[in-house]
A and B are shown apart, each in its own frame.
Chain A
Amino acid sequence: MDQLPNLGREQEMLEIMGLRSMEDLFSDIPEEIRSKGPLPLRGPQSEEEIIRDANKLLGANVDLDCRPSFLSAGLARNFVPSMVPMIATRGEFLTSYTPYQPEVSQGMLQAMWEFQTMISELVELPISNVSMYDASTSAAEAITCAVRVKSKKVEKPNTVFVSELVPPHRMSVIQNYTQGVGIEIIKLPHGEDGLLDLEKASLATGSCAVYVEQPNSFGILDEGLMSLREIVGEKTAIIVGVDVTTLGLVEPPGNWGADIVVGEGQPFGIGPTAGGPIYGIFACTKDFLRLMPGRIVGQSIDASGKTAYTLTLSTREQHIRRHRATSNICSNETLIALMGAMHMALLGPVGLEKLSTRILASTVRTMNQISSIEGVELAFPNSPVFREFAIKIPGKSEDALSHMDKLGVTAGFDLGNWWKDKSSWILVGCDERTSELDIKALKDALKSWVEESG
């Protein structure tokens, strides 16, 4: 066992304590609840054997990079610069805990303060925390936060309006986080064109908050959202979920009235990693600062007046406020946020703009090519899209995707999994790495299915 420095020295240590055996250390556990016999598990392995098994198991997976892949639906098949995992996993970062002792945690604290600044700049809101678990928990806690801030000031306390296009798995997280504290969620309808129904959105006036996403689940960039402030009035909080990679081209919600911006940080910093660890961003205006969830780093001074960094506003948090805390969050996703900060810093403003442009170009190119297939229709032909677009096909998406999978193409996501009436819709996801060859493979595969099934 190469992980235990005191192996073989047990007796020596026990004798110093005046004990005879390891069993003496467990004499306080009553006999009735003691385990009988060894754990019924496999035997230990060496590093060499574990690597062998890991390669066998993980090698059996079909990764997104080994074939043309058009699966996005909330995560990005991104490219992460080599520096990011290499430097972020330096032991001093990787093996540290929450920086409760700021004097020996200045590195991570400063990096997180810089992260807060970069997120703040990205979405144009003054305040950011150091991450939530993912986009869904960010959205859910933004809603509970908005209710805490707004409930006593509005005509419809404990009421929040949420876009009906929020995908069911994200909606389910929101339901779990809001059901116990008596928040009523009312769905905001979208029109035939996939855009938010602005007339109906006025029903949200007087409620605690509205939650919308830009782009929405069909990849649609909805210009109408920019009039939300005018529609719902000053008192209702506007919460916007964003795809962070749009923001090199698209006006950030902080500039059109959003109070809280949330979203999936993953495209900056880490691969899709089978869904985690990733990180949620959470940024807001000053009104929400004292009731927001998560850790926040502030600048300060040390005993000699030198600039220093420290966690601040901790009195919101569970370890101090216990059941009156603004959230139960303790462990967050700091290390992944650090990777995000490095990635954002490497990109720089111009790199960000170029990244957004590349994704947009891939989306437009793929959309034009796919929609030219006879029998395939764009679900929303007149709406601007980013990263994703929905198509309608003549038959079951499930069958088409399975057919294309056999041809070596991961062609997208079956929207019937989210909405039963859309079982012939496919959500096609593009990214900066989508190539002409990928698009051709997708087009050929889809065409062959349409021809065969027709």
Chain B
Amino acid sequence: MTGTIFDFNGSKEAGWSQPDPITEVYSESIPQQLRRSKLPEWPRASEPELVRHYTQLSQRNFGIDTGFYPLGSCTMKHNPRLNERIVQHPGIDRIHPLQPESQVQGLLAIYYEMQEMLAICSGMDAVTLQPVAGAQGEFTAIRCIQEYHRERGEGHRDKVIVPDSAHGTNPASASMCGYQIIEIPSADDGRIDLDALRSAVGDDTAAMMITNPSTLGVFEPEIAEATKIVHNAGGQMYYDGANFNAILGKTDPGRMGFDAVHYNLHKTFSQPHGGGGPGSGPIGVKEHLSKFLPSPIVGRREATEDEVGVADGHWYHWVTPESTIGKVQQWNGNAGAVVRSWAFYRRYGRELETMSEHAVLNANYLRHVMMNPDPDLQIHAMPIEGCPADVVKHEFTLSMSPLKEANGVTGKDVAKRLLDYGYMAPTLYFPQIVPECLMFEPTETESKEVLDKFARDFHSILAEDPEIVLSSPHTTPVGRVDEVWAARNLILRYNKSQDLS
């Protein structure tokens, strides 16, 4: 298939069938100057043509449903179809966020349950579901911390500390709030360097942003000490919840000493990633930050006799936090994602701990089988570990440097070759502190057989003729795509004239 949707160019009269307007529209309803002079050049296609077009496109796209998706730091777990079924209910799909509380008691009850559940799992005191992505959660939490310092007369604190292994969104989010970023190096084993942290903090420290387990998939055993250092300097500790899938029921950011945390409902709680979104990035905070949360959050009180609600004896209502930062999204967050994640949570309940255990089991198992190939295989070079930990949490890194030195095959080449074997590639070249880094996160929803086969296929690639790997992929809908060509030519939309060339 080489065509685009703009090849459909049917009758000039064609268009989606709709009822007629309920009344005649007079030309004076819109002043002449304001009237559109030429309609957009959209496709002119019938439903059967479009269903086939998009179905064929979908067949050129790889998802978790297609095959193993070990993309580190993204938690690509199975997305239960129940969640999709529930959000088709008119009680969520056909709801307006400005409807009165009395009309949305069911939705508010779900919000309340999710706020409570997330607070419990993270050891926080209050939760807002408004931020619609992890990065927006980071931004929201840093805004709350900013207002907290300002209210205490410490608005001069203008620096946010991030480790060099942090997700790029951390420094970007803090920077959008106006903070200067102090990046501190990781220790040789990828863990936080406490001496570097001690020399970075001061009376200008507003916060430190860190994820634990780290982006290397390794738990920071000295996290309590790190929070002490930052707190003693008057700073706040922010927990990037991207790696939350590893620790549910085992420990929580509250116990580690954090003041604020974001959750990725699209990672830990199975909101589908949808080709890049939507996500949902609620945040939880300790009591002292709760009055700054975005508005509104959901509260509840005992119902009076004539208040039926959801018949649980409560009446749910919106609450505006006392010193709220206002809004970060126009409405009340990605409610559809919250409802999907609620359905996911209900499936596990307190056994979310089992979910995390299996995520960690699978990651350690995959690491083990990948690091221990069949001795009969003639492997060009074994990857060294990114980090010499005994156990990892939900993900792990491997460095392809030895392979590159042995025969010039890079991490990217291995990643592309994995596509030929029917897998999504792992995360590539992140964290940047590991040379030729590949990061794997199998999640809890893959079977032992899939992990075993993946390891075998990975080892086959290491033993292959380097030429095959260097020129891969070979079996995908298109070959290796030239990203430089794209950036140089910048063809960012369809143009009729292109067809002529």
* A and B from one complex: yes
User: A32-47 toward B: CB 8 Å interface, digit per residue (1/0)?
Assistant: 1111001111111101
Inter-chain contact B478/A103, CB cutoff 8 Å: yes
Contact A4–B355 (Cβ < 8 Å): yes
Q: Does A154 contact B (CB under 8 A)?
A: no
Q: Which listed residue (A30, A57, A401) contacts B310, Cβ 8 A?
A: A57
B397 → chain A closest CB, angstroms = 16
Do A14 and B361 touch (CB < 8 A)? yes
Instruction: Render A75-105 as a binary contact track against B, CB cut-off 8 A, 1 for contact.
Output: 1010001010101111111111111111111
Q: Is B458 interfacial (CB 8 A cutoff)?
A: no
Q: B173 contacts which of A38, A43, A328, A365 (Cβ < 8 Å)?
A: A328
Q: With contacts A42-B346, A133-B133, A360-B21 known, what are 7 further pairs, Cβ within 8 A?
A: A39-B352, A54-B343, A66-B90, A71-B96, A181-B178, A226-B34, A329-B135
B44 at the interface (CB under 8 A from A): yes
* Chain B, residue nearest A358 (CB): B21
User: Which residue of A33, A71, A355, A405 contacts B98 across the interface (Cβ within 8 Å)?
Assistant: A71
**Is B152 interfacial (CB-CB < 8 Å)?**
no
A176 to B146, CA, bound (A): 11
- Taking the complex as formed, is A416 at the interface, i.e. its CB lies under 8 A from any CB of chain B? no
Q: How far is the CA of A357 from the CA of B39 in the complex (A)?
A: 13
Known: A103-B476, A251-B34. A334 touches B174 (CB 8 A): no
Query: Using Cβ atoms and an 8 Å threshold, which residues of chain B touch A81?
Result: 16, 47
Q: Is the pair A361, B21 in contact by a Cβ cutoff of 8 Å? A: yes
A216 to B101, CA, bound (A): 26
Determine the chain A residues whose CB is within 8 A of the CB of B110 once the complex forms.
57
1/0 per residue, CB under 8 A from A, across B175-205: the answer is 1111101000000000000000000000000
CB of A220, distance to nearest CB on chain B (Å): 11
Q: Are B134 and A331 touching (Cβ within 8 A)?
A: yes
The complex places the Cα of A308 from the Cα of B482 at a distance, in Å, of 9
B375 CB–A CB distance under 8 Å: no
Q: Would A104 and B476 count as touching, CB distance under 8 A?
A: yes
Supply 7 A–B pairs (Cβ within 8 Å), ascending by A.
Answer: A7-B358, A71-B98, A103-B473, A176-B143, A321-B172, A323-B171, A335-B275
Given contacts A97-B273, A334-B276, contact A273 B22 (CB under 8 A): no
Q: Interface stretch among B68-76, B298-306, B403-411, B460-468?
A: B68-76
Contact (Cβ within 8 A) B89 A180: no
Interface string of B341-358 (1 = CB under 8 A from A): 001001111111111011
User: How far apart are B426's CB and chain A's nearest CB, in angstroms?
Assistant: 10
A355, chain B: closest CB distance, angstroms: 7
Write the A45-76 contact mask toward B (1 if CB under 8 angstroms, else 0): 10101110111111111111110010101110
Inter-chain contact total with CB atoms closer than 8 Å:
689
**Assembled-state Cα–Cα distance A226/B19 (Å):** 32
Given A95-B64, A176-B326, A331-B133, answer yes or no on A302-B482 (Cβ-Cβ < 8 Å). Answer: yes
B384 interface contact, C-beta 8 A: no
Which B1-20 residues sit within 8 Å CB-CB of chain A?
2, 4-6, 8, 12-16, 18-20
Pair B63/A342 contact, Cβ less than 8 Å: no
Whole-angstrom distance from the CB of B11 to the nearest CB of chain A? 9
Stretch of B217-225, B230-238, B283-291 on the interface side: B217-225
Q: Verify A250–B30 contact, CB threshold 8 A.
A: yes
Answer whether A50 and B133 are a contact pair too, CB < 8 Å, given A274-B95, A300-B483, A331-B278: no
Interface contact B176-A328, CB-CB below 8 Å: yes
Number of interface residues of B (CB under 8 A): 203
**Minimal beta-carbon separation of B214 from chain A (angstroms):** 12
Q: Does A377 contact B (CB under 8 A)?
A: no
A436 to B133 alpha-carbon distance, docked (Å) = 41
Task: Evaluate whether A248 and B36 lie within 8 angstroms (CB atoms) in the complex, with A74-B330, A87-B54 already known.
Answer: yes
Chain B: minimal CB distance from A134 (Å): 5
Interface residues of B in 75-99 (CB under 8 A from A): 76, 78-80, 82, 84-99
Contact of B29 among A54, A89, A128, A384 (CB under 8 A): A384
Taking the closest CB of chain A, its distance from the CB of B337, in whole angstroms, is 6
B364 at the interface (CB under 8 A from A): yes
Partner of A101, one of B255, B273, B424: B424
- Residues of the B chain whose Cβ atoms lie less than 8 Å from the Cβ of A121: 40-42
**Complex partner residue of B58 from A54, A90, A279, CB under 8 angstroms:** A90
A265 interface contact, C-beta 8 A:
no
Residues of A within 8 A of B78 (CB): 3, 95
B153 contacts partner chain A, Cβ-Cβ < 8 Å: no
Q: How far is the CA of A248 from the CA of B143 in the complex (A)?
A: 40
A352 within 8 A of B: yes
Q: Which 10 A-B pairs have the closest CB atoms?
A: A275-B331, A335-B274, A180-B178, A58-B91, A91-B65, A107-B61, A351-B15, A275-B97, A350-B15, A361-B21
- Do A332 and B276 touch (CB < 8 A)? yes
* B386: Cβ under 8 A from any A Cβ: no
- The answer to whether A39 touches B487, judged by C-beta atoms less than 8 angstroms apart, is no
On whether the beta carbons of A323 and B63 are closer than 8 Å, the reply is no
A346 interface residue per 8 A CB criterion: yes
In angstroms, Cα B4 to Cα A117, docked, is 11
Bound: A76/B6 CA distance, A: 27
Of all chain A residues, the one with the shortest Cβ separation from B425 is A101
Evaluate contact between A22 and B146: CB separation under 8 angstroms: no
Which residues of the partner chain A approach B358 to less than 8 Å between Cβ atoms? Answer: 4, 6-7, 10
8 Å CB contact of A110 from B4, B272, B346: B4
Q: Establish whether residues A90 and B55, one from each chain, have CB atoms under 8 Å apart when the complex forms.
A: yes
- Does the CB pair A360–B106 fall under 8 Å? no
Q: Is B334 an interface residue (CB 8 A)?
A: yes
Instruction: Flag if B96 contacts A274 (CB, 8 Å).
Output: yes
Contact A179 B424 (CB under 8 A): no
Tell me the complex Cα distance, A81–B477, Å: 30
Q: Scoring A residues 265 to 298 as 1 if CB is less than 8 Å from chain B, else 0, what string do you get?
A: 0000011111111010000000001000001111
